[in-house]
């Protein structure tokens, strides 16, 4: 049976910068090729640090978790993102103390290479967001929808209101699986998996077609969710399915990126 990997922040380790990256920034490894088909590094930059991503052989997406950076001639505060496509590179500079980037990618080059050739920048204020996806207060945003003609990556964000300790029955609500491998990263608050709470800075790697569920902790929760390619169906026990891409198309417009200058 596929195994879900839960990596809280204290379980990360210092590591070299990811493949095809260089600079004075430092890196911590959450997930690498030896443990999962998707990779996640946390990149830390001080005010005078820089990171060059690429040229890359497969699309990578960076999410500005904390602080702010400057990249491609644009300021990217927390909540922003950037995509570096195959064959391109991007220099990222720290714009203050304590800047941290989450850098996601597939662990291996795809069998069918992406066209590539572009850098996409998405400042936080340009991220399509919906503050009321449901009556229970779930909100969402889309950073990359796998619909770009030159790159395949996917990244969305979700937020949830706080919840008090739950009953055994509540822990089974919302059980589902996705067709693809995914990484969930807790941007703020706590996520409850079973009876255990995990804090912000936790990464959860979930193999495709693996059933799971979660609830938010008492102070609420926000996360980003990465896939290396186009999502397909969400599956629920009992045979019900939902097309994930069609769902997001129905609630949010596509991102409109800035190009590096």
Q: Is 11 helix (H, G, I), strand (E, B) or coil?
A: helix
Q: Radius of gyration over alpha carbons of the chain, in Å? A: 18
What string of pLDDT tens digits covers the 261 residues of the chain? 468 999 999 999 999 999 999 999 999 999 999 989 999 999 999 999 999 999 988 899 999 999 999 999 999 999 999 999 999 999 999 987 889 999 999 998 877 788 899 999 999 999 999 998 877 789 999 999 999 999 999 999 999 998 877 777 777 678 999 999 999 999 999 999 988 999 999 999 999 999 999 999 999 999 999 999 999 999 999 889 999 999 999 999 999 999 998
Helices assigned H by DSSP within 158-239: none
State whether CATH 3.40.50.970 applies to domain 130-253. Answer: no
CATH fold for the domain made of 12-126:
Jelly Rolls (2.60.120)
Alpha-carbon distance of 48 to 51, in angstroms, equals: 10
Alpha-carbon distance of 259 to 255, in angstroms, equals: 12
**Own/partner long-range contacts of 7-16 (Cβ < 8 Å, ≥24 apart):** 7/31, 7/202, 7/203, 7/204, 7/205, 8/198, 8/199, 8/201, 8/202, 9/199, 9/200, 9/201, 9/202, 12/42, 15/41
Let me know if the fold of 12-126 is the same as that of 130-253. Answer: yes
**Domain assignments of the chain as residue spans, ordered by start:** 12-126, 130-253
């Amino acid at each position: 049976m596929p195994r879900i990997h839960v990596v809280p922040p204290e379980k990360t380790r210092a590591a070299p910068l990811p493949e095809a990256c260089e600079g004075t920034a430092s890196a911590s490894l959450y997930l690498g090729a030896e443990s999962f088909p998707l990779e996640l590094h946390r990149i830390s930059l001080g005010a005078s640090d820089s990171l060059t991503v690429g040229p890359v052989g497969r699309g990578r997406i960076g999410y500005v978790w904390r602080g702010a950076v400057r990249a491609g001639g644009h300021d990217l505060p927390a909540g922003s993102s950037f995509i570096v496509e195959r064959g391109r590179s991007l220099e990222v500079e720290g714009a203050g103390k304590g800047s941290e980037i989450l850098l996601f990618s597939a662990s291996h080059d795809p069998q069918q290479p992406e066209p590539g050739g572009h850098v996409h920048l998405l400042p936080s204020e340009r991220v399509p967001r919906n503050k009321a996806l449901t009556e229970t207060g779930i909100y969402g945003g889309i950073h990359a929808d796998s619909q770009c003609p030159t790159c395949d990556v996917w990244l969305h964000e979700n937020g949830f209101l706080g919840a008090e300790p739950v009953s055994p029955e509540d822990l089974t609500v919302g059980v589902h699986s996705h067709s693809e491998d995914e990484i969930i990263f807790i941007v703020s608050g706590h996520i409850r998996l079973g009876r255990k709470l995990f804090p912000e800075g936790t990464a959860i790697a979930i193999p495709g077609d693996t059933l799971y569920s979660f609830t938010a902790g008492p102070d609420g929760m926000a996360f980003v969710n990465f896939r290396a390619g186009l999502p397909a169906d969400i599956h629920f026990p009992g045979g019900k399915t939902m097309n994930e891409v069609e769902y997001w198309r129905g609630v949010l417009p596509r991102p409109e990126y800035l190009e590096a200058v």
